[in-house]
A and B are shown apart, each in its own frame.
Chain A
């Protein structure tokens, strides 16, 4: 259940990494159970988006969907939603799902996916928190259950789940890599286009001190130069 399989759409590169069980909290478990029961889901898949825009992975799914090709198919299916930027926000339901869900986009069940899921209708709830923590919760259910489901409550729970997953990610990474305030300030200003002299002026330090801070920050971020350090710091969320 805790294996993350990454499929890079188009490039076909496979990478596998495991979500350490320590990161899997009781809270996450509770949230997932609550979500699945509220959805009255028959089959489900939780797809998370990686940092780069086209790396998505199925993190969790019902036992029937454990096979690699099945998960790859699901990832491809979910990828087509995010092609249209707007549908990053709204629920997506299968075309024959009726008109019960306001603001939902209707999409046809592609043949290969229909075969995987046990259910008449599907719902995909996209989660877009920002640059991090994005993904989709996909589940199948019966048509009549679909009519009575509270999509907004479900979507809210889905957001909570994804935030818990993001929190687990953050806890996994070394806390702030021990960057101190000065180092962060220098990195921030360098990222805003200031050269060392100007940073020194701005922070009332000498140029050598600024370069020293940038140097230690670079080392702490395990980078070869300050530019790589800035990229890492941004992706880790240390800089605005």
Chain B
């Protein structure tokens, strides 16, 4: 097994080569894992695979287990996600999952962040291998450094960044519990204008109610 400083040098070369998977293979080898799946739980969607950034898992496992893991993580409470960032989690695959014979049921998942992206790196291991736990912690950070250099891994999630300043201001007041009437007084515009802003916000964020719009804005750090 290579040591960490050699690994870091090779990773930097991987960035130069512009190939994300080279580095992921190196990181897998470093911890003694057999296969890796790099997914993003901040852009998870049921009917597309954009959440998969790179993987050498058997494809059916990506579709079933990989999607399930990422979906579960996307629904996790933010406090838990912050406390669990960069912490390797060891667990067993569901019993009904059909794994290739050479792989162990045990897997290791490491949530981490790269730039504004929220990622999950999940390793599958050979049945006869003991995994280096301490190295897993190092991998969390190295994966973060490495992935932050790749646009297609670390791109900022598609927030509706074309909300105007006024619209953001309205959102802030709504989150404080203000009504349209109150906002018209506070901001100094007519109630109709306020409602227009709100309609526009809901259209841009594809939300159906004020509650949903606020939830969207808080989740995406807009307010």
Residues on A close to B: CB < 8 A? 52-53, 85-90, 102-103, 128-133, 152, 155-156, 159, 163, 166-167, 170, 190-195, 223-228, 230-231, 234-240
Q: Are A102 and B148 neighbours in the complex by a CB distance under 8 Å?
A: no
List B contacts of A239 (CB < 8 A).
77, 215
Question: Inside 8 A of B118's CB, which chain A residues have their CB?
Answer: 130
* Residue ID in chain B nearest A129 by CB atoms: B82
Residues of A contacting B142 in the complex (Cβ-Cβ under 8 angstroms): 152
When distances are taken between beta carbons in the complex, the residues of chain B under 8 Å from A102 are 5, 8-9, 11-12, 145
CB B134 to nearest CB in A, in angstroms, measures 10
Chain B residues with Cβ below 8 Å from A170 are 79
Main SS class of interface, B: helix
Q: Closest approach, in angstroms, between the C-beta of B36 and any C-beta of chain A? A: 19
Contact check, A130 vs B81: say whether CB atoms are below 8 A apart.
Answer: yes
Shortest 9 CB-CB contacts between residues of A and residues of B? A237-B79, A228-B177, A191-B215, A193-B212, A224-B177, A231-B175, A103-B145, A129-B82, A130-B82
The stretch among B57-65, B96-104, B108-116, B185-193 that forms the contact with chain A is B108-116
B145 and A234 contact, CB distance less than 8 A? no
Q: Smallest Cβ distance from B171 to chain A, in angstroms? A: 9
Query: What is the bound-complex CA distance between A137 and B206, given in angstroms?
Result: 38
The docked-state distance in angstroms from the alpha carbon of A159 to that of B87 is 10
What is B's interface to A at a CB cutoff of 8 Å? 4-5, 8-9, 11-12, 75-83, 85-86, 113-116, 118, 137-138, 141-142, 144-149, 154, 156, 174-177, 207-212, 214-215, 218-219, 221, 223
Within 8 Å CB of B4, what residues of A? 152
Q: How close is A168's CB to chain B, nearest CB, in angstroms?
A: 12
* 11 further interface pairs, Cβ-Cβ under 8 Å (given A86-B154, A129-B81): A86-B149, A88-B113, A129-B83, A130-B113, A130-B118, A132-B78, A132-B82, A133-B82, A193-B212, A235-B218, A237-B79
The answer, among A88, A156, A223, for a CB contact under 8 Å with B141, is A156
* A132–B115 CB distance below 8 A: no
Instruction: Say whether, besides A102-B12, A227-B210, A89 and B81 are in contact (CB < 8 Å).
Output: no
